[in-house]
């Protein structure tokens, strides 16, 4: 079997790693000659909307999938015209490329989301404030990631300036959710509609970028855990999603509030490589190829620490007992994800010392 992936970054690299033991060969399309997945997969170097590049990556593939949600519509159309299945289906992309459609979908499923209003010009600001109030966060509806394309609005009079800062149109203004912590839920859904739900995890961000995931989310009560899992499954079902998706959530005193959907394997699921019975990457490969899903249970407790900005010394990381180091082979740059380290232990209390050491090394690397 052969899998084609649009995008050749670290997510595609880890998908290719999961595909290899199953005897599934992988081709990636990525314009960057030195992309992470190019080290272990066949690599077509071309733009995502390049018809010839799309034809070449899809040649001989049983299915085409993607590692990022901003796949150009033209790419999906070209592949569809050639009769190559693209999974997850295009609906997963069109809904999740637009924060407004994403929120509409979730609200329609009875999932709590932050109050929001759409802003398509300066005249909409007053109505948005009347509906949502302040403080809030103004976001671009499309193409935002890792906290980019967002402005916090502390008081009502700040909204107009924020609107012009973000281009004046195609914006969404959300009420600020007062959360205790951030969570996410990763779900795999197979071609037969079966789902495998990973336990919800706790995520800590720094500068808008995921810094650390603790799995399963410590001390999450049964009702919130069930609600988080319901959100993941219902979103996957509503999109008829085949593959892995992630929903980012807020844990509030009044319950779970959903923030956004990623229609793909997710950074907050990296812990599953060592920490779950079947990784999110393997389950995505299984799902899009129509194979049975694997068990999504945790093997115990896990912590995943992102390496961002620069690389800590490899020997120092490996000196931490139980550290599983993943280096993406990317050039260091401020705010860029370069790798991650996972620790697995029988319980959360056993992660302590090693986790502190990995976090200290990662923090230092983030700052340099
Ligand atoms: P996003 O790009 O929507 O994932 O937002 C990035 C980060 O901004 C989230 O992980 C939260 O920490 C914060 N954030 C986004 N939306 C809200 C909101 N409505 N209320 C409070 N915090 C938010």
Of 175, 194, 211, the last residue of a domain is 175
Task: Determine the distance separating the centroid of ligand 1 and the alpha carbon of 51, expressed in angstroms.
Answer: 36
Same domain, 76 and 165: no
Q: How far apart are CA 50 and CA 78, in angstroms?
A: 9
Question: Looking at the domain assignment, is residue 95 inside a domain?
Answer: no
DSSP conformational letter for 177: P
- Same-domain check for residues 160 and 261: no
Angle at 23 between CA 56 and CA 192, to 5 degrees: 85
Cis (ω within 30 of 0) for the bond into 88? yes
- What pLDDT is stored for residue 204 in this prediction? 98
Per-residue pLDDT at 147? 66
Domain ranges, residue 68: 2-86
- Ligand 1 centroid to residue 270 C-alpha, Å: 20
pLDDT of residue 146: 62
* Ligand 1 atom with least separation from CA of 114: 19
Say whether 119 sits in a helix, a strand or coil.
strand
Ligand 1 atom with the smallest distance to the CA of 248 is 4
Question: Does the CB atom of residue 137 touch ligand 1 within 6 A?
Answer: yes
Distance 40 CA to ligand 1 centre (A): 34
Task: Please work out whether the CB of residue 330 comes within 6 Å of at least one atom of ligand 1.
Answer: no
Q: Are residues 150 and 279 in the same domain?
A: no
| Cα 205 to averaged position of ligand 1 atoms, centre (Å) | 10
Q: Are residues 331 and 210 in the same domain?
A: yes
Ligand 1 near 176 CB (within 6 A): yes
92 located within any domain: no
d(C-alpha 355, C-alpha 248), whole Å: 23
The CATH number of residue 245's host domain is 3.30.470.20
CA 340 to ligand 1 center in whole angstroms:
22
Residue 102 lies in a domain: no
Low-confidence ranges of the chain (pLDDT < 70): 145-147
Q: Say yes or no: CB of residue 177 within 6 Å of ligand 1.
A: yes
- Ligand 1 mutation target, pool 128, 144, 147, most atoms within 8 A of CB: 147
* Alpha-carbon radius of gyration of the chain: 20
Q: What is the pLDDT of residues 145-182, one digit of tens each?
A: 666 789 999 999 999 999 999 999 999 999 999 999 99
Q: What's the pLDDT score for residue 145?
A: 65
185 and 307 housed in the same domain = yes
What gap in Å lies between CA 250 and CA 255, rounded to an integer? Answer: 8
User: Cβ contacts of residue 254 below 8 Å, gap of 6+?
Assistant: none
Q: Is the CB of 147 within 6 Å of ligand 1?
A: yes
Same domain membership, residue 203 and residue 158: no
Last residue in a domain, options 125, 154, 175: 175
Please report the atom of ligand 1 found closest to the CA of residue 178.
21
Query: In this structure, what CATH number is given to the domain that contains residue 10?
Result: 3.40.50.20
Residue 191 and residue 315 in one domain: yes
In this structure, the answer to whether residues 230 and 348 fall within a common structural domain is yes
158 and 56 belong to one structural domain: no
Ligand 1 contacts CB of residue 174 (under 6 A): yes
Residues 38 and 164 in one domain: no
- Do 209 and 266 lie in a common domain? yes
CB atoms inside a 10 Å sphere around CB 350: 15
Quick: pLDDT tens for 71-123. 888 898 889 888 899 999 988 999 999 999 999 999 999 999 999 999 999 89
In angstroms, the CA 368 to CA 358 distance is 16
165 and 189 housed in the same domain = no
Residue 27 DSSP SS3: strand
State pTM to two decimals: 0.96
User: With contact defined as beta carbons under 8 Å apart, do 261 and 204 qualify?
Assistant: no
Report the C-alpha gap between 155 and 176 in whole angstroms.
Answer: 11
**Residue 122: predicted pLDDT:** 86
Q: Is 206 in the pocket of ligand 1 (CB under 6 A)?
A: no
- What value does the mean pLDDT of the chain take? 96
**Distance from C-alpha of 208 to C-alpha of 320, rounded to nearest angstrom:** 27
Q: Is 182 in the pocket of ligand 1 (CB under 6 A)?
A: yes
Residue 32 lies in a domain: yes
Closest by CA to 321, choosing from 296, 351, 300, is: 351
* Residue at which a domain ends, from 128, 158, 175: 175
Judge if the beta carbon of residue 227 lies within 6 A of ligand 1.
Answer: no
């Amino acid at each position: 079997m052969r899998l084609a992936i649009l995008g050749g970054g670290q997510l595609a690299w880890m998908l290719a790693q999961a595909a290899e033991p199953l005897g599934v060969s992988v081709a990636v399309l990525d314009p960057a000659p030195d992309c992470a997945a190019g080290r272990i997969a066949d690599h077509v170097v071309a733009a995502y909307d390049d018809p010839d590049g799309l034809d070449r990556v899809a040649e001989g593939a049983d299915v085409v999938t993607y590692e990022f949600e901003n796949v150009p519509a033209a790419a999906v159309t070209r592949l569809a015209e050639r009769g190559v299945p693209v999974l997850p289906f295009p609906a997963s992309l069109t809904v999740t490329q637009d924060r407004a459609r994403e929120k509409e979908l979730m609200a329609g499923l009875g999932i709590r989301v932050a109050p929001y209003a759409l802003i398509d010009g300066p005249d909409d600001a007053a109505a948005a404030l009347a509906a949502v109030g302040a403080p809030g966060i103004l976001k671009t509806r499309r193409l935002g990631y890792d906290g980019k394309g967002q402005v916090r609005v502390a008081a009502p009079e700040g909204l107009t300036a924020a609107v012009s800062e973000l281009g004046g149109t195609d914006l969404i203004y959300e009420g600020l959710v007062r959360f205790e912590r951030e969570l996410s839920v990763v779900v795999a859904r197979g071609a037969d509609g079966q789902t495998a739900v990973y336990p919800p995890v706790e995520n800590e961000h720094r500068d808008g970028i995921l810094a650390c995931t603790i799995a399963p989310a410590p001390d999450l009560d049964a009702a919130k855990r069930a609600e988080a899992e319901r959100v993941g499954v219902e979103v996957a079902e509503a999109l008829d999603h085949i593959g892995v998706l992630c929903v980012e959530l807020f844990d509030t005193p009044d319950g779970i509030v959903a923030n956004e959907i990623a229609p793909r394997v997710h950074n907050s699921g990296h812990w599953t490589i060592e920490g779950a019975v079947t990784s999110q990457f393997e389950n995505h490969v299984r799902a899009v190829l129509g194979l049975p899903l694997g068990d999504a249970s945790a093997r115990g407790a896990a912590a995943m620490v992102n390496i961002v900005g620069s690389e800590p010394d490899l020997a120092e990381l490996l000196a931490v007992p139980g550290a599983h180091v993943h280096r993406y082979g990317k050039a260091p740059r401020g705010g860029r994800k370069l790798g991650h380290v996972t620790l697995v232990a029988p319980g959360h209390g056993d992660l302590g010392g090693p986790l502190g050491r990995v976090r200290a090394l990662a923090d230092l690397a983030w700052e340099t």
